[in-house]
Chains A and B, each alone.
Chain A
Amino acid sequence: MSEVESVESFAERSRLWLADSMPRVDPDAYIHGLGSDEAELAFVDRQRQLQRVLFDGGFAGICFPAEYGGQGLSAAHQNVFNIECVGYQMPALINVPTFVPCGAVLLEFGTEEQKQKHIPSMLKGEKLWMQFLSEPSGGSDVAGALTTAVRDGEEWLLNGSKVWTTGAWWSDMGLCLVRTNWDVPKHRGLSVFIIDIADPNIDVQRIEMLNGSREFCQEFLTDVRVPDSDRVGEVDDGWTVGRRWMFHERNAMGGGSPLVSGPGVGHGGAGSGVDPSLVITEAMGRTDDPVALDLIGESLMLRRAATELTKRVGEGMASGAVSDTSAAITRLMNGVVMARNWTIHAELAGSAAVAWESEGPLDGVGVNYLMRQSNSIAGGTVEMARNNISERVLGMPRERTLDKDVAFRDVPKGPPASR
C-alpha cells in the first residue's frame, strides 16, 4: 500500500485541479427546486456531469474506501477540499442524500456485493438515491412505519406509501424502511431494502410546497417485488440500520459528515459570497440604521456560531471525545439559526418582504420567511433533536411511550392519514 498523501499536498493538488477542471460558480445560475420541470431536469443532469468530472479527476468520494471507487483519504483531506472548492460549481444535490445517508448506510451495513454494485455508480454520478423513510402516518416516529414487506420465496412484496422524498421523480434508487413483522414491538419488526424507483409498481407523485417548490414527492408502492439480495441488514433488525441511517442524516444536516463534499459544508447552511443580511440592508438603504446594524451583527454571529459548533462537534466525534449522538446538537443549531436568520432577513426587508420587484436583491425574502421552519422540520425535527440531546447526550429519562413491549399491531394508531 502506498503512503497516504499529506493534507497539504492534497490541498495544493486540489487547488490546481479545480482551477483546471471545474467551472466557476455562476451567480445567475438556476436555483434548485424553483423552476420548470425542464430546468430542474437540466440542473440534475448538470449535477451528474459535475460529479463525473470529479470522479474522473480522482476527487469523488474523498472519504469513501478506494475499493469502491473513492479516494480512501481522511476527514482532514475532505476539509481542505471543502475550503479549496469554494467558488466552483459542485454537485451538492448528489452529496445529500445519495452519499449521505444512503451511501454511508451501505458502507456500514451493505453486503460486499451491494457495495461493489452501488457505491461506484453513486460516485460516478450515474445513480442518484433517495430515502424512503417518512410516511404519511408520522414524520418523527420513523420506527412506526406502516409500509409492509411480506416474504414470497426469494423475494419480498412491498406495499404502502412513503413521503418527503426529495426529487424522487428524477432519482434512480431508494433505501426503504419497511415493516416485516407486526407481531413484535415496533422497533423489532423493521427491515431495510434497496428499491429501484423506475419499478412500474412505484407511483411517484409530486408535492407542491408553499414557495412553489415541487422537489418533494410521495410514493405509492403496490406489490413491488424486491429480491432478498437487496435487503440491507438482517430481517426484522432494520432499526439497527435505521438508527445509524438517521445519525448519518442528522450529521449531514448539521454539516458534520466527512462523506459530504463541497463548499459551505460545515458553514451553517450558506456557502461563500456576501451575506444576505448585508445585501438586503444595502438594497433597503438602511446601512446607517443602528437597528439594521444590530440585526446584521446578530445574523453573522449566528452563522459563525453554527460553523464553529459544527467544527467542534465534528472534531469531538472524530476523536471519540464525544459520542455520535452529539450530532443532534449541530442539527438543532442549524435549525434554529436558519429560522432566526430568515426572520432577520424579512425584518431588514420590511414591507419589501411582502411585495417586491420580481428581479432584484429582495426577491424571495418574504417567501423564505414563510418557509422559515423548513430546516427545523426536515431531516428530523428540532424537537426530536432536543429529545436526543437531553436523553442521549445528557442522559435524562426517556419520554414515556405506549408502543414499547407490545406487538406493533396492537399499538394505538390514529385514523389513516389522508395523504
Chain B
Amino acid sequence: MEVTLSDDQEFFRETTLRFLTDKSEPDSLRSLQADAHGFDREYWRQGAELGWTSLLISEDHGGGSISGSGVVDMSIVADAFGRHAASGPLISTNVVAAAIDKTGSEAQVADNLDGFISGERIGAWCLSEPAPNDGLGAVTSSALTATADDGNYRLSGVKGPVEAGAQADVLLIVGNTDGAPTQFLVDPTTDGVTIRPLESVDMSRRFAAIEFDDVVVGSDAVLGEVGGARGAIERQLHIACMMQVAEMVGAAERVFDMTVEWAFDRYSFGRPLASYQELKHRFADMKMWLEASHALGTALASELGADSPSTAETASVAKAYCGHYLGELMQDCVQMHGGIGLTSEHDLHLYFRRVAANRATYGTAADHRRRIAAGRLEPGTESEMAA
C-alpha cells in the first residue's frame, strides 16, 4: 500500500510500472541471465527518458524531480525496479550522478551528466573491497592507495564487488590518500585497470572485481577535495541504501502478494493453506516485517531528501531491518511454496535474487547495526567503527 504519494508521484509511479510490466516481464528477465551485461542499452535509454537517471541531478545540470524531492521520486523508481526485478545499473549510475552533481568540477559535470541523463553513459561506484577489507570498511580505511606523484595520482589496489563494473563508462573510485578518503573519476580503459566479471545471485545485475595496478590519473580526476571525501561518501552510501531498501520492499511485496494468493489456491488435506493457523501467523509476521520495512524506506527517503542530520542512523536502521527481515520474508515465502518455490520455472526467485543481492552489498545488516551503535556511543564515528 502507498500511503502518502501526491498525484504527480502516483502518475510517475504508474508510468514507471507500466513500462516495466512491458519490458521486464519474467521471460525477458530469464533471457538476461545468460547476457554478459545483464541489460539492453536501448531499454536503458528509454528508461532514462522516463527520468530514471535525472532525478538526483540538479536543474542547473539538466536534471530535475517530479515532486520537488528527487530522492523521494527515486525511491518510487527503485520500488518499481524491485517489484519487477528490473535490469539496468540503477543504483550505481544514480549514485555516481549524484556525486558528480554535488561536487564535480565544470569539466566533470560536462563530461558525464548529459550522458547519464540521456542514458548513453553508465557509472559505477567502486566502494567495497575484497576481504579482509570488505563491506563498509573501505569508507575510511581503503586499501586502495592513491599516492600523489608530481601532480598526478598513482592508484593501486582492488575494488569489488562493483555493481556494473564491467559495463560502466566511468568509474568513481574511493581511494586512500595518506589515511584520508579521496574520490577519483577514472575511465575504465585507462592503462593498468583490469576488470574481472564476477558470478552473482542477481538475474540481471552484474558485479565485477576491478584491479588498479599503478594506474596514473591526473589531478583533474579528483572529485571534490583531496582527503576530504568522507561526507560525500557517507551521502552516497545513504543514497545507495535508500535505493536498495526501496527495491527490496518492492520485490518483497510482490513475492508476499504472490504467496498470499498461493496460500488461498493451494489445498492440502481438503483445506487451503491459508486456513492453517500456524501458516496464518507466519503470514501475519511477514505482513508486519513488510509494513515496517516500507515505513522505514519512507522515513529514509524523506530524511535524505531533506538533508536531515539523522539520515545516517535512519539509513543504517532501514538497511539493517530490511536486510535481515526481508531476507527472512523471502525465505518464508519459499517455504510456503514448498519445492516449487526453489525451481527456476517459478517466478519467485527472480525477486528473491534482488533482495539477496541488496541485503549484503553496501553493508550487511550486521555492518549497519554496528554503525547504529557506534553513532550513538560516539557520534560522528559511524564510518570508523564499521571498519
Contact = CB atoms under 8 A, between A and B. Distances in A.
A301 B292 contact: no
A328 to B, nearest CB: 8
Contacts of B1: 316, 321-322
A309 B291 contact: yes
A328 B284 CA distance: 9
Query: Could you say which of A281, A296, A336 has the most chain B C-beta atoms within 10 Å of its C-beta?
Result: A296
Contacts of B376: 275, 278, 296, 300
Interface of B: 1-4, 260, 263-264, 272, 274-275, 277, 280-281, 283-285, 287-288, 291-296, 298-299, 313-314, 316-317, 320-321, 366, 368-374, 376-377, 385
Contact of A315 (B4, B280, B317, B368): B4
Contacts of B292: 305-306, 308-309, 333
Contacts of B316: 297, 301
A264 to B, nearest CB: 17
Contacts of A308: 292, 295-296, 298-299
B2 to A, nearest CB: 8
B294 A312 contact: yes
A339 to B, nearest CB: 13
A389 B284 contact: yes
Nearest to A288: B377
A386 interface: yes
Contact of A399 (B277, B285, B288): B277
B280 A296 contact: no
A399 B377 CA distance: 47
Interface stretch (A165-173, A219-227, A365-373, A390-398): A390-398
B370 A293 contact: yes
Nearest to A315: B3
Interface of A: 275, 278, 281-282, 287, 290, 292-294, 296-298, 300-302, 304-306, 308-309, 311-313, 315-316, 319, 321-322, 326, 328-329, 332-333, 336, 383, 385-391, 393-394, 396-397, 399
A333 B295 CA distance: 13
Given A308-B296, A312-B294, A294 B366 contact: yes
B261 to A, nearest CB: 11
Contact of A329 (B3, B287, B313, B369): B287
B3 A321 contact: yes
Contacts of A383: 281
Nearest to B320: A301
Interface secondary structure of B, over-half rule: helix
A296 B372 contact: yes
A387 B369 contact: no
B369 A301 contact: yes
A294 B377 CA distance: 12
Nearest to A305: B292
Contacts of B299: 308, 311
A391 B288 contact: no
A392 to B, nearest CB: 10
A333 B283 CA distance: 14
A316 to B, nearest CB: 5
Contacts of B277: 387, 399
Contact of A301 (B2, B263, B317): B317
A315 B288 CA distance: 16
Contact of A386 (B275, B281, B374): B281
Top 3 A-B pairs, shortest CB-CB distance: A297-B369, A390-B280, A312-B295
A290 B260 contact: no
Contacts of A293: 369-370, 373-374, 377, 385
Nearest to B2: A321
B274 A397 contact: yes
B252 to A, nearest CB: 14
Nearest to A318: B3
Contacts of A278: 376-377
A266 to B, nearest CB: 12
21 contacts: A281-B377, A292-B373, A294-B370, A296-B376, A297-B368, A297-B371, A300-B372, A305-B295, A308-B299, A312-B291, A315-B3, A333-B288, A336-B288, A387-B281, A390-B283, A391-B280, A393-B287, A394-B280, A394-B284, A396-B283, A397-B274
Contacts of B373: 292-294, 296-297, 300
A292 to B, nearest CB: 8
Contacts of A322: 1, 3
B135 to A, nearest CB: 13
